[in-house]
Structure 1
Amino acid sequence: MSDDTFVGAVHAEPAWEPISIGLPQRHRRRNFIAWSRRYVLTLAVADAIIGAAGILVPSRFSNTLNGELALVAALSVLGAIAWTTSISLARGYVRNRVGLGTEELRAVLRAGVGLVVAGAFPAGLLGHETLLKLVVVGVPFAVVVSTLIRYLARKGLHRRQRAGTDVRQVVVVGTSKAVRELTARLNREKHCGMKVVGVCLPSHEIGDVCGVGVPVLGDLTSVATIVRQIGCDAIAVTSDDATRDNYLRKLAWSLEGAGVEMFVDPGLVEVAGPRMHIRPLMGAPLLHIEEPHFSGWRKVIKRSSDLMITSLGLIAISPILVAIAILIKLQDGGPVLFRQKRVGQNGDEFWMYKFRSMVTDAETRKAALMAKNEGKGGLFKLTDDPRITPLGRFLRDYSFDELPQLFNVLNGSMSLVGPRPHLAHEIAQMPSEATRRTLVTPGLTGLWQVSGRSDLEGDEGVRLDLRYVENWTFTLDILILWKTASAVLAKRGAR
């Protein structure tokens, strides 16, 4: 493909006749602009109210402002303006970032730090106690509430996107194999808000069966023309032989002025942002991939947080543990706890504890049920397992049966967050790469559980566990713990 052929494709007739797929161009673009603008405007109005409240709250505790309603009102207006301006300067209202990544939340934190520096430092130097109190109390208040508002707004947006509304219309570009894989990932992660409306393939693959459930719109030289014709919001380009050399640069040139975002899939499915960095080398950008970290200060922080959170948690829920133990004993007189050998870090086996949720002879009856096994990848799973007692079903629905594993966390055989520990024979039937799960301590909860718990197939669960292992951060652990609570309360995937 020559340079002239590609660059000229913006104005030339496409090499493949595009297929009409719905709304006209202006309506399509207006749809994205409308919902993203509405989303950002809602956040801005909420931030203005929060900024005003950030002044009102500390002023209630300031003796110098008692009775000065006019001054408080003026400062509240100033707080609303200052807070929204700070977030805007921190790029917290960029429409193409809504619902994606952590930039929205980080913008709030940057705005808070900026306001503290801009307000508290001068107030401290001048000895202005009232201003100092307004800044020290008001800014953290605004940061916390604005972050909470964004979390709730994003949850609502993701719920609408899973239902198929408020999404970006995306065209995927690349070879048929890479396009099929990327499209499958985008369709699987519906909360990301990317709806694939068509694909563009190399000309020699146009006649192939793509198998992605969306139309083939044209070849690689006609992408810019197709984008303008159908009015999509973004294109996603795969990393393969067809898109190497100067293709991306020429494609970017041809899309100038179209108002379309361009995403490039680096082909590193299980490597997340914290390990990927752009490094310039001799004037050319290279993608630098850091090694995963399994030791050092990160491990110390993880273990320390496990001990602190678990100890406090056990003290708080000790009455619940005693009550469950009594109910299990009264049920059939059998043992309260069920213990089983699982594979832990470095492949070492350990005893994992759970509240008994099955009949006392459950293991003996398992062989007779293997023919009905619904699990994959070496896992045994049965939706309506007859061995589960009525009390056990309730305990499993809310994951109460797993509370004794907190003692496994205390003795170091498990962590609060990590890959799910499996039986030795289950791991033996998994793909060879599944052994990398043992590089870290297994967890009471993990990425697998918050992504669907036992609703996920075995291979998909292993993939999520490996993603956690390769990209662990303390922030990821906090996020998983937060999502675990909502998954348990909603009884999603409970078995």
Structure 2
Amino acid sequence: MSAPPRPGWESGYARAALGLDVLSVVIADVFVSAVYHDVTVLDLPANLAVAVAVPILALLSLALNHAWDPRILGSGPEEFRRVASAYVTVIAVMAVAGYAVETAGGHSWVFGALPLAAMASLTGRYLLRKWLHRRRRSGSYLRSVVATGDEVSVRELIHRTRVATHTGWTVEAVCLSRSDPAEDLPLEVDGVPVLGTEHDIVGIVALRGFAAVALLPSVGWSPSRTQRLAWDLEGTGADLLIAPALMDIVGPRLHISPVAGTPLLQLSAPRFTGPAWVVKSVLDRVLALGLLIAMSPLLIAVGSAIRLTSPGPAFYRQTRVGRAGTTFEMIKFRSMVRDADVRLAELSSANEGAGVLFKIKDDPRVTRVGHFIRRYSIDELPQLFNVVAGHMSLVGPRPPLIAEVEKYDDGGVRRRMLVKPGLTGLWQISGRSDLSWEESVRMDLRYVENWTMTLDLMILWKTAAAVLRSEGAY
């Protein structure tokens, strides 16, 4: 039985990505050939050969790296990694080939046109993705999912897909696992209709045409049933999404290790030392110092505005807990009145935070300048001094107060202190102050468990957008 065709928007999106890549390579090639050089440079056979080879080899490299695979388009860092890898590969191959034939002809195309095309491709795909995410937030271009598992797991997936609409999945139906055949099923789970049990999945998918089945943890579900479900779904056009039941652990720490023919998910222990962490520390300090120098006029202007409009110092220092429980003085621009700490007890009844966090949306202690610098996170910029000093990192968990750490339970929250706290982090790009205590902890632990340099770069890139939107800032 042949599988139903993929949704039209998926093939259209893939064609748009292909078109952007072709356009990027061609424009970069023409720019170097006719603008950077005089077009007569192509009279030389070696230059003409390279100019022709550049777009062909670039597109071939993108194809070999599966850069147009529908499964990776529109979400996650894998799409950008494949595009970057394709261009790095073709640059390296053409550079080595030029060295092998002992000719310097065409270096402008290899080291000019190809990097230019790479930047254009990545930028084009980023803009295309932002367009897709806007459409998904309005309810378009979503993949329908039927979720099966126990009620707690299903409810969690429904919540996550509603929050992270950019992933493109929407749970439209539920098939609950049931240990007791006499047990009555609920009519819905968080507004999503319950259509049956795990035994009804295949028939429901065939009838309703769901794009995917999300298989979540449930008592009594065995590997043989998973395999049978995968076989039965063949030809329906539905993908099978399997939750490994390992909370928020993905990426380089997970590997497939076959043992006597049995595939096992191998989870390696996280490492917080080694060359990668040394590179992170060096880059943190170098970039922080560069940002301090570049933004020194802004820092001086903000500091002056605070001193002129509110009695007290421009900076506010507060003891925070860093890596391994060490304490340090964190520096911020003062955004509140001078006696804000003294007035904290008066506002305890107005606390809107959850867990150990204290948050008030309309805090009366915030000054007029403070409202502005908080909105755009300008008050956080002096923490660059902490980064240069080695107390903090550019990216990491939120730096906690001593009082917060004292309230930590043994539920893994202390693992946040395995790394340096950050000026920004997953909590910054995922809601900032709008996050609940549980969500804030989950974001920090996800970062600690899954750290890579690529993750840091992604967070830094997204922080700028989160700050400009000023969402969750108060």
TM-score scaled by length of structure 1 = 0.88
Residue 359 of structure 2 is aligned with which of 381, 386, 390? 381
Residue 188 of structure 1 is aligned with which of 152, 163, 184? 163
Partner of 1:211: 189
Partner of 2:435: 456
Note closer, same or farther for the CA distance 1:162–1:274 as it changes in structure 2 (3 Å cut): farther
Partner of 1:483: 462
State the Cα distance separating 1:68 from its structure 2 match: 5.9
State the Cα distance separating 1:473 from its structure 2 match: 1.4
Contact 1:62 1:130 in 2 (8 A): no
Q: Distance in 1 between matches of 2:398 and 2:153?
A: 30
Q: Which range moved further: 443-452 or 234-243?
A: 234-243
Partner of 1:109: 84
Q: Which range moved further: 205-214 or 97-106?
A: 205-214
State the Cα distance separating 1:128 from its structure 2 match: 4.3
What is the identity percentage for the equivalent residue pairs of Structure 1 and Structure 2? 42
Query: Following superposition of structure 1 onto structure 2, how do residues 50-129 of structure 1 map, counting pairs within 5 Å?
Result: 50-59=24-33, 60-62=35-37, 65-66=40-41, 79-129=54-104
Structure 2 letter corresponding to 1:263: L
**Higher relative contact order (Cα pairs below 8 Å, separated by 6+ residues):** 1
Q: Which range moved further: 108-117 or 342-351?
A: 108-117
Residue 438 of structure 1 is aligned with which of 386, 395, 417? 417
Q: Which range moved further: 210-219 or 406-415?
A: 210-219
Q: Distance in 1 between matches of 2:369 and 2:329?
A: 23
Partner of 2:18: 44
3-state secondary structure, aligned to 1:242: coil
1:465 aligns with 2:465: no
Deviations 1:192-234 (A, max 9, x none): 1101111112354772335332112222222222111101111
State the Cα distance separating 1:118 from its structure 2 match: 4.6
Unaligned runs of 5+ in 2: none
Contact 1:161 1:167 in 2 (8 A): yes
State the Cα distance separating 1:72 from its structure 2 match: 9.7
Q: Distance in 2 between matches of 1:101 and 1:489?
A: 22
Q: Distance in 2 between matches of 1:319 and 1:72?
A: 47
Note closer, same or farther for the CA distance 1:413–1:229 as it changes in structure 2 (3 Å cut): same
Partner of 1:175: 150
Contact 1:124 1:132 in 2 (8 A): no
Q: Distance in 2 between matches of 1:437 and 1:188?
A: 23
3-state secondary structure, aligned to 2:343: helix
Query: Following superposition of structure 1 onto structure 2, how do residues 331-346 of structure 1 map, counting pairs within 5 Å?
Result: 331-346=309-324
Deviations 1:217-276 (A, max 9, x none): 222222222111101111111133332130111011111112221110111122122211
Structure 2 letter corresponding to 1:296: G
Contact 1:341 1:350 in 2 (8 A): yes
State the Cα distance separating 1:125 from its structure 2 match: 2.6
Query: Following superposition of structure 1 onto structure 2, how do residues 365-380 of structure 1 map, counting pairs within 5 Å?
Result: 365-380=343-358
State the Cα distance separating 1:148 from its structure 2 match: 1.4
Note closer, same or farther for the CA distance 1:459–1:117 as it changes in structure 2 (3 Å cut): closer
State the Cα distance separating 1:114 from its structure 2 match: 3.7
Residue 303 of structure 2 is aligned with which of 317, 325, 329? 325
Partner of 2:244: 266
Q: Distance in 2 between matches of 1:347 and 1:67?
A: 63
State the Cα distance separating 1:74 from its structure 2 match: 10
Structure 1 letter corresponding to 2:363: D
Q: Which range moved further: 35-44 or 217-226?
A: 217-226
Q: Which range moved further: 198-207 or 104-113?
A: 198-207
State the Cα distance separating 1:81 from its structure 2 match: 4.7
Q: Distance in 2 between matches of 1:305 and 1:117?
A: 25
Partner of 1:226: 204
Contact 1:238 1:264 in 2 (8 A): yes
Q: Over aligned residue pairs, what C-alpha RMSD do you find?
A: 2.5
Residue 159 of structure 1 is aligned with which of 134, 139, 144? 134
Contact 1:91 1:107 in 2 (8 A): yes
State the Cα distance separating 1:346 from its structure 2 match: 1.4
Number of equivalent positions: 468
State the Cα distance separating 1:289 from its structure 2 match: 0.5
